[in-house]
Structure formats: C-alpha cells, structure tokens
C-alpha cells in the first residue's frame, strides 16, 4: 500500500499521520497480524515511517526488556496448555467412540444371535426386531459421523479466523 504522499515534505521527517497510531501499536507488539503486514508493507516504501518505527523501538527498548522476557514465555505456556487441552479432548473422544463402537458391535451381534436362535419369536417379530436394530445402528453411525464432520468444520473455522 502506498501512502498518499505530500505530508512528508510539509512536516519534515515525520511519519504519515494515518500510520502514527499503528507504529506505536507495532512497536508495543500489540498490532494484529493484518496491521503488522500493512505497516511492514508501508515502511518498505516509506523511509519516514521506517525511521519512526526505529526511533520508537529504541525508546521502547529500555522499558521493553521485562516485556520481552515475559511475553514469549506466557505465550509459550498458553500454547502448550491449549495443545494439551486439545489433545486431552481428542483422546477422550477417541476413547468414547472406540468404546461405543466395540460395545455396540458386541451388543448388536449378541442381539442378532438371540433373535436368530429364539424359538418363541415368529418370523415377523424377528424381522421387526432386526429392523429396529439396523435402524438404531444407522442413527448412531450418522450421529457419530455428524460429530466428526462438525469437529473438522470447527477446526477449519478456527484456522480461517
């Protein structure tokens, strides 16, 4: 992005007014990624703003030492905490799904066997119970698949933001 120009000559070695606030945020490390990219693209072509950034950085450096040591460590800690929480949730869900599938398969097999070998049920009752079991399996499979698709969609959305 090019600056509109003009102000530099009139105001000497000052930064562009529309970037003044952003430069402070940038030096303080609180600018968003989009803002950082915007300013970096601008200072690549604007020497005055570049000098302004360097000047601010020098002034800020004295008070920044504490900041600089603390911030990455905090970010690091929260990164690991988030990763751990996410992993914990993933493992929890995997166990629930696996357990559910194993128990479900066993139950369906047992039930199918019970229906097939039952002497007191007539064919219509056997078919009816079979239909109920198949229907339940379809519903549960659908619900699990939906959950997995939703999680994927969630992750996609989080990445996009």
Point out which residues bind Zn ion (CB under 5 A). Answer: 3, 16, 46, 49
- Closest approach, Cβ 60 to Zn ion, in A, equals 19
- Closest approach, Cβ 76 to Zn ion, in A, equals 34
CB closer to Zn ion out of 3 and 31: 3
- Closest approach, Cβ 12 to Zn ion, in A, equals 13
CB closer to Zn ion out of 14 and 126: 14
CB closer to Zn ion out of 27 and 46: 46
DSSP the chain: -----SHHHHHSSPPPHHHHHHHHHHHHT---HHHHHHHHHHHTT-HHHHHHHHHHHHHHHHHHHHHHHHHHHHHHHHHHHHHHHHHHHHHHHHHHHHHHHHHHHHHHHHHHHHHHH-SS--HHHHHHHHHHHHHHHHHHHHHHHHHHHHHHHHHHHHHH-
């Amino acid at each position: 992005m090019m600056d509109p120009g003009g102000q530099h000559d009139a105001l000497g070695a000052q930064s562009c007014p529309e970037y003044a606030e952003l430069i402070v945020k940038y030096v303080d490390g609180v600018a968003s990624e989009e803002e950082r990219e915007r300013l970096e693209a601008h200072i690549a072509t604007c020497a005055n703003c570049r000098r302004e950034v360097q000047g601010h950085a020098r002034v800020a450096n004295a008070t920044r030492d504490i900041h600089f040591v603390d911030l990455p460590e905090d970010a690091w800690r929260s990164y690991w905490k988030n990763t751990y929480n996410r992993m914990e949730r993933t493992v929890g869900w995997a166990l629930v799904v696996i357990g559910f599938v194993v128990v479900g398969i066993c139950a369906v097999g047992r039930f199918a066997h019970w229906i097939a070998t039952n002497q007191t049920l007539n064919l219509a009752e056997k078919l009816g119970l079979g239909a109920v079991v198949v229907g339940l399996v379809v519903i549960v499979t659908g619900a699990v698949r939906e959950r997995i698709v939703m999680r994927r969609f969630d992750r996609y959305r989080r990445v996009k933001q």
